[in-house]
Structures are given as structure tokens and as C-alpha cells.
């Protein structure tokens, strides 16, 4: 479905990713973990068309999308929930959600998509007319994920969805991610909560200093002593 084929990404003269290859199959949930500054956000932004790729190739449904403008990524079925949510805080929750459904294929399913988002995140139903900026951090993350789902994506990219949230809200967030994937949407999850991410994912990639240093079944990687020492404190 989605393939990174030996991509490299730079910020000016400073390289951020080197020779990175990754695949996501239809209806698969894949996680990417690693320390701060490893290149995880750069990778996910490249996959969403938000960061240019210097070398290598990106393919989506066997089509080369490496040089496409970013708006075409969404039209093709790729949606991102960026780190920090990036909501329009002076607009209502409903308006933020509606903004996710303006591409033609999503607009015709707007009512159905909204019903699904509200079933995933019931707390938002009574907040639809509230300003997004007045919501708690957890509720804002729900809106950010809901906005991406309103685009009816085939691939959902999630960048640190649990960042700054309470443990109880994190549980709800990951329950929703599991349900989204269970409905057939492919998911790439970039996450620092390694134990939780690997409990959800089929496969995992470990990124350090701009390179993929380990990959495999999540259940296998989580048992590796190096992973347990570096990311679980064991």
C-alpha cells in the first residue's frame, strides 16, 4: 500500500533521514519508535507530503508520489494528525471537523463520517458548538484525529497522539486507534509510549539518528533486551 524506498530528507544542508525504507500493507497498523530527535516526525511529514524528499522514492498503491504537491496526498487517501494537533482554536469543534471533509470523495460521506467520529469520541458530541481552543488537551486530540478521519483516509498517519495526555485519556486514545484500524484503515503510529504502541502494532520500526536500526514483528521487538533497556527502563 505505502512504501518508502531508501529515502533521504534534509533541512537545508543538514541531513535528517538517511536511506530509510518502510512498508505498510492494507489494513495494517505499524508503529515507529525512537528517541527525541531521531527523525520520526521528519519521516511522517515526508509521508504526508509536508517535507520534500531529497533522494529515494515514495509509493502509494504502487504509484510514485515522491514529487506530488502535498494537497494531492490527501486526495489520494493519506491523512495526518500532526504533533501538537494544530487545530483552528477560534473555530468551533464542528467547523474543525467539517474542514477535514472538503475533498470531493469525503464530502459526500460527511454525515456518516461525523457520526463515526462521534461514536469513537462521545465526549465531543456535547462540544460541537464550543471553540476548539476551550477544550482540554485530550478533547483537542480527539478533534484532531476526528478531523483526519473526516477525509475518509485509506492511510492515517499519527504523530505522537498520546503526548501530554493523562493516562486515562491515553487509554481512550489507543482504544480508538485500535477501532479505526479494525475498520480497515491502515495506520502508521509514531509514538514515544513504546509499550502501548507495540501492543497495538503488527510490525514496528526503531529509528535512531535518522536511520532505521531495527524492524520486525512488534511482539518480537518488545522482547529484545536492547528495546527493554532503552525504551522501557527494564
pLDDT in tens, 143-154: 999 999 999 999
Report domain extents, the chain. 1-77+154-169+185-234, 87-152
Average pLDDT over every residue of 188-195: 91
User: What CATH number is given for 1-77+154-169+185-234 in this structure?
Assistant: 3.40.50.300
Residue bearing cell 513504546: 194
Residue 36: per-residue pLDDT: 87
Give the pLDDT confidence of 117-172 residue by residue, as tens digits.
999 999 999 999 999 999 999 999 999 999 999 999 999 999 999 888 888 889 99
What gap in Å lies between CA 161 and CA 174, rounded to an integer? 9
Pairing relation of β-strands 55-60 and 63-64? Answer: antiparallel
pTM to 2 decimals?
A: 0.93
pLDDT tier at 223 (50, 70, 90 boundaries)? confident
Q: What's the rounded Cα separation, in Å, for the pair 76 and 200?
A: 26
What distance in Å separates the CA atoms of residue 21 and residue 2, rounded to the nearest whole number? 11
Q: Phi/psi at 149 (nearest 5 deg)? A: -70, -25
- Which stretches of 108-217 are DSSP H helices? 110-120, 137-149, 167-182, 194-200
Amino acid at each position: 500500500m505505502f512504501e518508502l524506498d531508501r529515502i533521504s530528507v534534509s533541512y537545508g544542508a543538514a541531513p535528517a533521514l538517511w536511506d530509510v525504507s518502510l512498508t505498510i500493507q492494507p489494513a495494517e497498523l505499524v508503529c515507529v519508535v525512537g528517541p527525541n530527535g531521531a527523525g520520526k516526525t521528519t519521516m511522517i511529514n515526508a509521508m504526508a507530503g509536508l517535507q520534500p524528499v531529497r533522494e529515494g522514492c515514495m509509493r502509494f498503491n504502487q504509484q510514485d508520489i515522491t514529487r506530488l504537491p502535498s494537497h494531492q496526498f490527501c486526495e489520494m487517501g493519506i491523512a495526518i494528525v500532526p504533533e501538537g494537533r494544530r487545530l483552528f482554536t477560534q473555530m468551533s469543534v464542528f467547523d474543525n471537523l467539517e474542514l477535514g471533509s472538503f475533498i470531493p470523495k469525503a464530502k459526500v460521506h460527511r454525515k456518516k463520517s461525523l457520526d463515526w467520529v462521534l461514536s469513537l469520541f462521545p465526549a465531543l458530541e456535547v462540544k460541537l458548538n464550543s471553540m476548539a481552543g476551550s477544550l482540554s488537551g485530550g478533547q483537542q486530540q480527539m478533534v484532531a484525529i476526528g478531523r483526519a478521519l473526516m477525509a475518509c483516509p485509506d492511510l492515517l498517519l499519527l504523530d505522537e497522539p498520546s503526548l501530554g495526555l493523562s493516562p486515562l485519556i491515553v487509554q481512550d486514545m489507543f482504544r480508538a486507534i485500535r477501532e479505526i484500524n479494525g475498520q480497515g484503515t491502515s495506520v502508521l503510529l509514531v509514538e514515544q509510549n513504546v509499550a502501548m504502541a507495540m501492543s497495538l502494532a503488527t510490525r514496528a520500526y526503531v529509528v535512531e539518528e535518522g536511520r532505521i536500526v531495527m524492524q520486525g514483528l512488534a511482539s518480537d521487538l518488545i522482547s529484545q533486551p536492547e528495546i527493554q533497556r532503552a525504551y522501557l527502563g527494564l
